[in-house]
Structure 1
Amino acid sequence: MIDAKRERLERPLALTSGDPSGIGPEIALRAWLATHADAASPGFFIVADPAHLSDLARDLGWNIPVVETDPAGAPALFGRALPVVPSQQRVMGKPGRPDPGDAAATIASIERCVEYVRAGLAPALVTNPISKEVLHRAGFAHPGHTEFLAELALRLFGETRRPVMMLWSQDLAVVPATIHVPLKDVPGLLTSALLVETGRIVAHDLEHRFGLKSPRLAFAGLNPHAGEGGDMGREDIDIIKPALAELARDGIIVSGPHPADTLFHAEARKRYDAVIAMYHDQALIPIKTLAFDQAVNVTLGLPFIRTSPDHGTAFDIAGKGLADPTSLLAALRLAQRLAFAECPVIS
């Protein structure tokens, strides 16, 4: 049996560059400062422009050696330098001033990191924040990271998967059933089949990746007060309740639909392990209120592990030395725990 500690040291996590004009490079540098001297912390390499990282560290006054390598050479370097697998393209943008010319390298960084995971050179993928607006201006066809990762799952692993976004922290885990869509479109997109598929994926990964036996899923209602028995909309009765009944027949522990305004206080959180919300803000407002710096974006349903900090590119503070690496560090630690079965992650 392979020693888990030795394997952690020999197989560092793959970290993407994110948008190089955002705070991704800065928090990657800070994450290395926080972890390189601790053998228990997750080691990683980043696919990025080494010169850009070196220049940024110098400009911020941080003594961080940046060394070019390949994934196999990263473990020997991590204790003394930030291992960087070169992206083969110089960064064109400036901190806070993104350039669509960097889009190709940003996308390639994601692809190459997934390829490294597929090849067994990294146990998991951690992604830095991207700017969808910048990528879309350059012709990127996907709504965001999650959908692109589903394409890579098919292209590189030969598996058709529906990815599910979960925001996780020690205090709360939430899953939005619909994500980046206008609020007016949500009722039309919600179906019992969608909720059943989402519930099955969440229950499976909570058990098999997070080490939680018999996970309890709470479903939020769509309408105020979960519809008030149909007086404020029938979606909770006609769509959500049939989905819960089918999931219960599968043996999954479910409850709801619950009024969302009373679902997230401390006492309520003791009664479930994850909430499946009906739309983006219903899920993200409570977790960002409770755990803004500690929350991690985890993509469930993929044939590989992917985590990400739960924040954006923060162009307004990029390059100023103000970016907080806490969420990236949480993403790295969670990826390590999931990759090396250091479970249960949820207790």
Structure 2
Amino acid sequence: MAGNTFGHLFTITTFGESHGKGLGVTIDGCPSGIRISEEEIQHDLDRRRPGQSRIVTQRKEKDRIQIISGVFEGVTTGTPIGMIILNEDQKSRDYDHIKDSFRPSHADYTYQSKYGFRDYRGGGRSSARETAMRVAAGSVAKAILKRIGITIQAYVSQVGPIRIDDNPENHDLSLTEENIVRCPDPKKAAEMEELIMATRKKGDTVGGVVTCVIENAPVGLGEPVFDKLHSDLARAVMSINACKGFEIGSGFEGVKMNGSEHNDKFYTTKDGEVRTETNYSGGIQGGISNGMPIYFRAAFKPVATIIQSQETINKEGKDVTIEGRGRHDPCVVPRAVPIVEAMAALTLVDHYLMQQRMKI
């Protein structure tokens, strides 16, 4: 199966299935001398792990990370970094009833058609459980970015029809982790939580939006034409399970504006830095970072597994009725926050290393 490796210079390859023995990732291209620890990586994994609150799947996984190579005495050696997480709470019997059926909006049909076989236990390789290793690798990427002052903060900005102001500057992002929804607006967070719980009681699911802000990215990250920074960010984020939309800067709202309104006017600060008065470009122009904050939004669909009867077909093409079982998220966005951060970090590190190589 191709498509399991991400990156150009800083690459990750993930492996493992939702209901297999465990999950793993190999990181290649990580510079030596970066101080990392299992405790720091665990912090990000705990933000993604199942069972962390009443509004997410109740599968009980500790997601304990083990670094098995590439790190000595807490410092990266420059050799491939290997990390694993062992699964502990699989209940594969919850999926026996759909082993020959295709769940609506899942990858069952496409995997069966492409490979002639599929691991139906929790979706196998198509399960969002695979993203645990992206978060682990992203934590290593964050450690590199921290050394050069780049910070990444994602948060939930919408659940269903409930949304907050699109401008990140209008929110205190330090409040993001103060509630289980991961929304920096406490009042809206409470409304979102209530909506998620009401949706869960109906056996249904609801979608949402995660906004991400990247601060202190230097000017010059991004390559011309096909490897633009924003196109690579889009590719990275759109590879996350259930992500159905990506927009950067003004995004789709920008079509409502005239060029005279939308253009970001340059000026020079007292310190001699070049900035822009507005940031409709989202910190990237011509595919290259311009030194302003980079911000984008990612839309996530309602989780496909619902605890309701649905009509579908089986492998013989016959009509059947199935009902979701097991433990599933009624809304994916609270757990998607660290995943979005991870994919942004992996992309930024990759482009930073490419930029450094050009200066040699």
Give TM-score scaled by structure 2 length.
0.28
Give TM-score scaled by structure 1 length.
0.29
> Between Structure 1 and Structure 2, which shows a larger proportion of strand residues?
2
